[in-house]
Each structure stands twice: as C-alpha cells, then as structure tokens.
Structure 1
Amino acid sequence: MENQILGLHHITAIAGDAKRNFNFYSKILGLRFIKKTVNFDDPGTYHFYFGDEVGSAGTILTFFPWGEGIQQGRKGSGMATEIGYSVPKGSLDFWQKRFDEHNVIYNKPSERFGEKHLPFLDPDGLKLELIESKTEDTRKAWETDEIKADVATKGFHNVTLTLKNIKATAAILTEIFGYKLIEQEVNRYRYATDTVETAAIVDLVELEDEKHGHVANGTVHHVAFRVKNDEVLMHFREKVESFGLSITHQIDRQYFHSLYFREPGGVLFELATENPGFTYDESLEELGKNLKLPAQYESDRERIESHLAKID
C-alpha cells in the first residue's frame, strides 16, 4: 500500500448542550447519527459522531458536548475556523428557506474560487458552510424525510485554518502530507491532495494581526487526516518526527487508530486509520441507536449512563 494521506478523516468540535447538538445535526442538517459513545479520556461526557450512512471517512463530524456551563470559545489564529460541506448545485435556496424556518443564523450566499457557498452558525456558534462544488461530488447522501438526496450534504468539501503566517503550516501540508497549492484568492490559499476526489481541500487563511483563538464551546478541537491502515499511520509518525515535531504514540479510538501532533501554526492535527470502522461494535442498521462504551468502561455503565443527558 502506497503511503498516502487520503484527505480528511474527521473533524472534532466542542458543543454545549448535548440534546441541542444532537437535534441540530441529525434533524435540521440531516446528518446520520452514527455513534453515541463517551469521551475516552473523560467517560462522564458524550462523544457524538455524525456522518453518512456508514460513517465514511471524509463525512464524519464529531462533538464533545460538555454542557451549558462550558466557556464560550473564540475564533482566531492557530485554529480551524470553518468547516465546509459539499452540497448539490442549486440546493442553497432550499437551505436558506430551511434555515429561516429553524431560526439558524446565516449569511447570504457568495462566491469563492468559483463556487457558491452559504455560511451559517450552529447553536453554539461553530461556523460552517454549505458549498456547491465546481467538481461533481458522487458520494451517496444520507436522506431524511425532510432532506432528500438532491439537496442533502455529501460530506466535507474543505476545512479552513486561520494563521498569522501560513508558511510553516503549508510546509506540513506539502512536504509531509503531499498536498499542493492549487488556488489563491487574496489571503486565502487553497491546498488539495489528488489522492482522493472529495474531502481533499484545506484552506489556509493568513491574518498577521489576528489574535490567537481559544478552543472551547463552538470551536473546532482538532482536524483528522485519513490514512489507509496502521502501517501507513506509523510511516507518517516517522515523517512527522523527522520534521522535528512531537507526536503521540498510536492510540486506539476503537473505530480507528490515531496519532496526534500540533502543527507549527498551532492547530491540533490527528492522523486516523480507516480501520476498523463504525460497525465494529454495532450493525449498520443499529448505528447511533445505543450507547457504546469501550471495554474498560463497561463495568461502570450504570453510573456513566446516570450522568449523561437524555437526548431522545
């Protein structure tokens, strides 16, 4: 297997109220709720996963919903500041009407890199965009009763990182991950990999005077890039180390295996495998319906469940 980064794997953000987060992403945006589990490092809080039917890499948005008391985050430099979802051409009118119906805060569509995009905020202030990609996105959309395939999200289009200076971060993307600079508009630099057709884009926005962001409620915690398997994962561990950066040992996240490192601009990056996938502990039909716990917490299930908010 050739050692390649295969675009985005998942993006993880922080939310407040768990039920509000669940309702927004599964009902208003119409993503499939594919996994209800806990934060492996803090089993007293949820870890939610949303994606397509099977939880394909490049569609997975995950949240740590830490409750209403959490401090509000601040977007700024050294963090991922926007998450872009691919939607079919001609669908933005549908989404504007839907956002009006559900009191979602959004801006009117505009154009960037020849693509129409609709920016909006989730209930915690996380910034997202719906983007009509100029290249065809053939991924199968997850449908709901109210959101059909002709308007539904397909998965990630891009993620945007805001930085005081893009040079060091760009070097990680190009020299380690194999991305290339493909377009530039003013201070936004678009990098992409040709190893996959979708979820392949990272935008770097350079704002020299931007204050550092604060990761808390309504912000992105980390951005994960996809690799095929454990062998490729460890190949990239060596590459990151040889670049002079500190990187974790391999961590078992049950549905994938991970490494974490902070790139020079300040953004927390993760490398995550495709294996073993989200049907590891429940069937495709049952995805997201039951609280799934890693083996080390099963003996404490009753206490853990008693502390978690009811979401449905």
Structure 2
Amino acid sequence: MNQQVLGLHHITAISGNAQRNYDFYTKVMGLRFVKKTVNFDDPFTYHFYYGNYDASPGTILTFFPWSGISKGKRGVGTASEIGFAVPEGSLGFWKARLEKAGIIFNNPAKKFGEEYLTALDPDGLKLELTVVKTSATDSRVPFETPEIDATKAIRGFHNTTLTLRNIKHTADVLTDIMGYRLSEQHVNRYRFVTDAVADAAVIDLVEAPGEAQGVVAGGSIHHVAFRVKDDATEMALREKIAAKGFNITPQIDRMYFHSLYFREPGGVLFEIATDNPGFTADEPLEALGTALKLPPQYEPRRAQIETALPQLIL
C-alpha cells in the first residue's frame, strides 16, 4: 500500500482552565470550536477540538483542560512546538493582535526560508505562525470571524517539532515506516516531509543531547496523531509498526476517528488516526461545537457529567 501516512491528523495538548483555553483559541486565534466532548478515560474532564471551517484532518488541535494541573516543561522526549500555516503578508496582523491580547511572542524570524512568528498560549504552549512557501496553494478552508478574515486566518497545521536527545531512531520511524524523507537540515534541526499531501506534511526533529528531560503536563503536547485514509490502511500500518518491534495498541474507536497508539524511540506518544468517520458523525457541519457530545458509554451518566464539568461560556 503506497504512502500510507497522509501527514498530520491532529495534535493533542494539555491545558489548565477550560474557559481560558476556549477564549484564547477561538477569540484570539480565530479557530473554529469543532467539538465539545469529554476525555474517554476521564469523562469528568472536557476534550476540546479546534480546527478550520470544515474540521478537516491536518487542522485539528485538541486539548484536555485540567484546572489546577502542574506546569509542563519543554525538553527532550517531547513534542515541543506546534506550527500553524498562515497567509502571506499576515504576520504583521498577528503580531499586533497578540500584543493587544497580552500574549507573549517573539518578532518574526526565518527558518528554512519561511518567515514565522513564535508565541506562547496562556498555559505556555509554544506555537508558531508560519508563512509557508506553498501558502498560495493551501486549499484548506479557514474559519473566519468578524475580526479575522480569510487573508489572515490560520489554515491548519504546517508542522510539529520533536525535541530529542538523539534523532536517529525516530528518523528511522518517520522514513522507514511512515514514508517521510529528510528534506533540509540547519545546525541541529532536521526537517522531514511527506510528499503524500500538500499541507500538514512536515515534522521537525531537534537534536539536543544536553537539554533536560521534558515534562508532559499543563502547556505541553500530549501526543501527535498521523493521518491515514481508512481502517484498512490503518491496520496494514499497524502490522508494519508491530513488525518493527513496537508495542502498539489495538484499534480504539474515538467516535470521530479510529486510533492506534505507540511510543516512538525518543519517548513521544504517536497516534495513527483515520479520516473516517469524521466530525460530522454526530452533528451537522453548521452546528459543530454547539452541544456537549458524549461517547455512547457515558450517555447514561449525562446528567452527572454535565453537573461536574465546568460551565463554559461560548
């Protein structure tokens, strides 16, 4: 089966206060609130999904908001950065917007010939807004707000970065299993791309042998999910991963996609996620994110769960 992995599917992170997380990603960053549901393992904790207008794979950033959680730490063994694609000429707008909102950010710089701006979300999660070389051909439909039109709006993911003590074995997973190739290197940053898709196709590996171990907690990335077309492709890929000696889970139904999980050699949790059935499986496109959606096993406890969850003002 050719080109099984279609770039990034989603990235899941951990935040603190749920309302603060919602306000930042919808009101400041202008992402669409795609889904309000709960953590499958902890139904008294929200699971928020943000994305583009039609909630397409490669645009979905999700959060487990745990109020009062300790602060995480970027370092080796973690996915340390999330890169979004934005239109050409928009970084001045984003700089002014972040400054007005009181968000910590750096002035624009360049990496692999692409201009980008780095910012920290309210929990300290590191974000990058990048004017991608191919931004003119990015066909993903942005979510527009009264303050952010299509000429400025985030399109979806460009890349994510893994910080590792040694990149070799992680690079082998990307190239030998997932179909990525090394495209560029600058000092200790190695850029891997897949030619299977045009967007959300980049993984950066940073080799930092002297850096301290990272801590996955508030303001950090929990796991990185790679996209496959369907269940048949996913299960074929599972066989390939298992044959390489990795301990990979059985397929798990996550309502909006089907998932496999394994930990890559550098310590980052990887997920393989299907396109099917998609985010309109339980509510229409125009109504995404407007109601609390529960996995079937938790529906009998809806009243209890709704009472326990923090109130969210949309």
Q: Common fold, TM-score beyond 0.5?
A: yes
| Residue correspondences, number | 311
Matched, 1:99 2:98: yes
Distance in 1 between residues matched to 2:63 and 2:3, nearest whole Å = 29
Does the 8 A contact of 1:3 with 1:232 survive in 2? no
Does the 8 A contact of 2:3 with 2:179 survive in 1? no
Within a 5 Å distance, the mapping from 1:65-104 to structure 2 comes to 65-67=65-67, 69-104=68-103
Partner of residue 9, structure 1: 9
Partner of residue 265, structure 1: 266
> How far off is 1:138 after superposition?
2.6
Partner of residue 51, structure 1: 51
Partner of residue 145, structure 1: 146
Partner of residue 289, structure 1: 290
Does the 8 A contact of 2:54 with 2:141 survive in 1? no
Within a 5 Å distance, the mapping from 1:229-244 to structure 2 comes to 229-244=230-245
> How far off is 1:309 after superposition?
1.0
Matched, 1:126 2:95: no
User: Residues 287-307 of structure 1, C-alpha deviation per residue, up to 9 Å, x if partnerless?
Assistant: 000000011101100010001
Distance in 2 between residues matched to 1:176 and 1:305, nearest whole Å = 42
Distance in 2 between residues matched to 1:32 and 1:144, nearest whole Å = 9
Matched, 1:212 2:213: yes
Moved over 6 A (4+): none
User: Residues 135-154 of structure 1, C-alpha deviation per residue, up to 9 Å, x if partnerless?
Assistant: 13232211000000001100
> How far off is 1:210 after superposition?
1.1
User: Residues 46-103 of structure 1, C-alpha deviation per residue, up to 9 Å, x if partnerless?
Assistant: 0000001121000000000011x21110110011000000000110000011011100
Distance in 1 between residues matched to 2:71 and 2:203, nearest whole Å = 25
Partner of residue 33, structure 1: 33
Distance in 1 between residues matched to 2:14 and 2:228, nearest whole Å = 24
TM-score, scaled relative to structure 1:
0.99
Distance in 2 between residues matched to 1:56 and 1:124, nearest whole Å = 25
Distance in 2 between residues matched to 1:267 and 1:91, nearest whole Å = 32
**Matched AA of 2:36:** K
Distance in 2 between residues matched to 1:139 and 1:288, nearest whole Å = 19
Does the 8 A contact of 2:3 with 2:178 survive in 1? no
> How far off is 1:3 after superposition?
5.3
Distance in 2 between residues matched to 1:131 and 1:3, nearest whole Å = 26
Distance in 1 between residues matched to 2:16 and 2:72, nearest whole Å = 11
For structure 1, the 5+ residue unaligned runs are: none
Secondary structure at the residue paired with 2:148? coil
Does the 8 A contact of 1:258 with 1:270 survive in 2? yes
User: Residues 224-260 of structure 1, C-alpha deviation per residue, up to 9 Å, x if partnerless?
Assistant: 0000001111111111111111000000000000000
Secondary structure at the residue paired with 1:285? helix
**Matched AA of 1:11:** I
**Matched AA of 1:231:** A
Does the 8 A contact of 1:3 with 1:235 survive in 2? no
Distance in 2 between residues matched to 1:52 and 1:153, nearest whole Å = 8
Distance in 2 between residues matched to 1:296 and 1:158, nearest whole Å = 34
Within a 5 Å distance, the mapping from 1:242-261 to structure 2 comes to 242-261=243-262
Does the 8 A contact of 2:52 with 2:140 survive in 1? no
Secondary structure at the residue paired with 1:26? helix
Secondary structure at the residue paired with 1:296? helix
Matched, 1:60 2:60: yes
**Matched AA of 1:119:** T
Q: Percent identity?
A: 61
**Matched AA of 1:207:** A
> How far off is 1:2 after superposition?
4.1
User: Residues 176-219 of structure 1, C-alpha deviation per residue, up to 9 Å, x if partnerless?
Assistant: 00100000111000000000000000000000111111100000
Distance in 2 between residues matched to 1:286 and 1:2, nearest whole Å = 36
**Matched AA of 1:166:** I
Distance in 2 between residues matched to 1:2 and 1:213, nearest whole Å = 35
Partner of residue 114, structure 1: 113
Distance in 1 between residues matched to 2:148 and 2:309, nearest whole Å = 29
**Matched AA of 1:311:** L
Does the 8 A contact of 1:52 with 1:141 survive in 2? yes
